[in-house]
């Protein structure tokens, strides 16, 4: 019969695999729902004529969506736009089409058709402009940067698939028995996992000291049991505790407060428990009471010692623990 620790670890692993499948389904649905754009993104917009521009003009004037927004237009001539590097005018028959592009103007251009933005229109046709001069222009803008949103979407889709895929792959290896969940491995190292699991369950029901940031500290254990995350440590193995304070900034400049967490370093792993400054300090005080042998506070020397010689760090703390208990 599996223990509570093993069952919980398995449930979280299943949850992470299911979440990845859900994310994948959402990404696939988004791409399917935008199939027309995806086709245009890879193959380019289909060719269009002046008649298609006339239809788009009619739709814009009627405040309707343009039925065929992605087009490739071949004009007769490129006209100047008073030195603008972002826009130029393309002569199509006896009408003029405004094109937004940072590239060298050409008579054949592909892009997304939309109504001419108000600020662009007011700049192009200031008060007092002859209506006949304005009528020569299509009330449209052809934006050649139509692929930008596709690149952004592909980036976020790839990022989501990579991130959730990594956790799903790791969880699948645990479910298939290739590797064991760290919490299970840790519990086995402490002794009979069935007895350990029963003790953890009992303390979670009857000996809870504090709950903070998804973590539960009992008389003997630190247990993280969130929606898709599970971890387990024994307070008897606590060797170093300190408060972490990270100053947050908007755009790397504007101060946006400070995030606090309690860093709990064990001989077999580590945990960060977030909360307000007061709650974090209370948590550290409780942890120190349960493990008075643990090193308290942060210094650069301690951090260097921990990083370069963790086994020696742990050995020194365990030696002090043994001396305190005897």
pLDDT at 76 over 70: yes
The packing angle between helices 4-33 and 182-190, to 10°, is 170
Do 140 and 65 share a structural domain? yes
SS3 of residue 232 by DSSP: strand
pLDDT at 222 over 80: yes
pLDDT at 46 over 80: yes
From 2-6, 58-62, 96-100, 179-183, the region with the lowest mean pLDDT: 58-62
Do 238 and 106 share a structural domain? no
Beta strands in the chain (DSSP E): 47-48, 70-74, 77-79, 87-92, 95-100, 108-115, 137-143, 208-212, 215-218, 221-225, 230-234, 238-250, 254-266, 269-275, 295-296
Which of 84, 117, 145 is a domain's end point?
Answer: 145
The values of phi and psi at residue 296, to 5°, are: -115, 135
Beta-ladder partners of 115: 140
Do 213 and 118 share a structural domain? no
pLDDT at 81 over 90: no
Compute the average pLDDT of residues 167-186: 95
**Residue 26 is assigned to a structural domain of this protein:** no
Q: CA torsion sign, 125 to 57 to 144 to 137?
A: negative
SS3 of residue 62 by DSSP: coil
Do 229 and 135 share a structural domain? no
Contact 122, 129 (CB under 8 A): no
pLDDT at 326 over 70: no
Query: 83 is in which domain, residue-wise?
Result: 46-145
**Tens digit of pLDDT for each residue in 254-265?**
666 788 999 999
**Residue 27 is assigned to a structural domain of this protein:** no
CA distance 157 to 149: 12
pLDDT at 80 over 90: no
CA angle (124, 125, 126) in 5-degree steps: 110
**Tens digit of pLDDT for each residue in 107-137?**
999 999 999 999 888 888 888 888 888 999 9
What does the pLDDT read at residue 275? 86
Do 92 and 189 share a structural domain? no
**Residue 254 is assigned to a structural domain of this protein:** yes
pLDDT at 1 over 80: no
CA distance 112 to 109: 10
pLDDT at 199 over 80: yes
What does the pLDDT read at residue 86? 85
pLDDT cut 90: percent of the chain above it: 70
Do 74 and 133 share a structural domain? yes
Answer with the residue of higher pLDDT: 81 or 42.
42
Compute the average pLDDT of residues 291-306: 94
Do 306 and 224 share a structural domain? yes
**Residue 275 is assigned to a structural domain of this protein:** yes
What does the pLDDT read at residue 254? 65
Contact 30, 38 (CB under 8 A): no
pLDDT at 82 over 80: no
Determine how β-strand 254-266 pairs with β-strand 269-275.
antiparallel
What does the pLDDT read at residue 84? 66
Determine how β-strand 137-143 pairs with β-strand 108-115.
antiparallel
Compute the average pLDDT of residues 280-308: 92
Contact 213, 282 (CB under 8 A): no
10 Å Cβ neighbour count for 132? 7
CA distance 83 to 89: 11
Compute the average pLDDT of residues 185-206: 95
Contact 150, 37 (CB under 8 A): yes
Do 188 and 104 share a structural domain? no
Do 108 and 191 share a structural domain? no
The set of residues, in sequence order, having a beta carbon less than 8 Å from that of 292 and lying 6+ positions away, is 324
Compute the average pLDDT of residues 256-277: 90
The set of residues, in sequence order, having a beta carbon less than 8 Å from that of 215 and lying 6+ positions away, is 222, 223, 224, 271, 273
Do 291 and 204 share a structural domain? yes
Which of 117, 145, 173 is a domain's end point?
Answer: 145
Domain harbouring 52, CATH code: 2.40.50
Tokens of 207: 């000996």
Domain harbouring 189, CATH code: 2.30.29.30
Which of 119, 145, 171 is a domain's end point?
Answer: 145
Tokens of 38: 């995806």
Mean pLDDT of the chain: 91
Band of the pLDDT at 241, cuts 50, 70, 90? Answer: very high
Tokens of 3: 């223990």
Number of structural domains in the chain: 2
The packing angle between helices 193-206 and 182-190, to 10°, is 100
pLDDT cut 70: percent of the chain above it: 96
pTM for the full predicted model: 0.80
Do 193 and 124 share a structural domain? no
What does the pLDDT read at residue 100? 92
Compute the average pLDDT of residues 38-61: 93
Do 313 and 208 share a structural domain? yes
Answer with the residue of higher pLDDT: 275 or 308.
308
**Residue 115 is assigned to a structural domain of this protein:** yes
């Amino acid at each position: 019969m599996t223990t509570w620790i093993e069952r919980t670890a398995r449930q979280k692993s299943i949850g992470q695999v299911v979440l990845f499948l859900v994310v994948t389904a959402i990404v696939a649905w988004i791409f399917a729902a935008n199939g027309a754009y995806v086709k245009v993104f890879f193959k380019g917009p289909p060719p269009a004529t002046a008649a298609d521009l006339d239809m788009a003009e009619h739709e814009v004037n009627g405040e309707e969506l343009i039925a065929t927004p992605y087009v490739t237009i071949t004009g007769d001539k490129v006209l100047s736009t008073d030195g603008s590097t972002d826009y130029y005018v393309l002569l199509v028959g006896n009408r003029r089409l405004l094109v937004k592009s940072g590239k060298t103007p050409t008579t054949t251009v592909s892009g997304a058709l939309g109504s001419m933005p108000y600020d662009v229109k007011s700049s192009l046709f200031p008060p007092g402009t002859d209506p006949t001069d304005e009528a020569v222009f299509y009330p449209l803008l052809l934006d050649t940067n139509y692929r930008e949103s596709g690149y952004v979407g592909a980036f976020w889709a790839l990022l989501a698939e990579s991130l959730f895929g990594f956790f799903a792959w790791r969880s699948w290896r645990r479910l298939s028995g290739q590797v064991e969940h760290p919490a299970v491995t840790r519990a086995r190292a402490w002794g009979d996992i069935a007895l350990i699991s029963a003790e953890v369950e009992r303390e979670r029901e009857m000996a809870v000291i504090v709950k903070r940031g998804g973590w539960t500290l009992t008389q003997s254990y630190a247990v993280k049991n969130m929606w898709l995350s599970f971890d387990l440590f024994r307070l008897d193995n606590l060797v170093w505790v300190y408060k972490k304070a990270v100053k947050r900034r908007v755009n790397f400049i504007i101060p946006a407060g400070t995030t606090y967490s309690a860093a709990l370093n064990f001989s077999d792993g580590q945990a960060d428990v977030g909360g307000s400054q007061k709650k974090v300090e209370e948590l550290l005080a409780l942890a120190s009471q349960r493990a008075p042998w643990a090193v308290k506070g942060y210094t650069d020397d301690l951090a260097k010692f921990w990083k370069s010689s963790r086994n020696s760090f742990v050995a020194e703390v365990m030696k002090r623990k043994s001396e305190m208990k005897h």
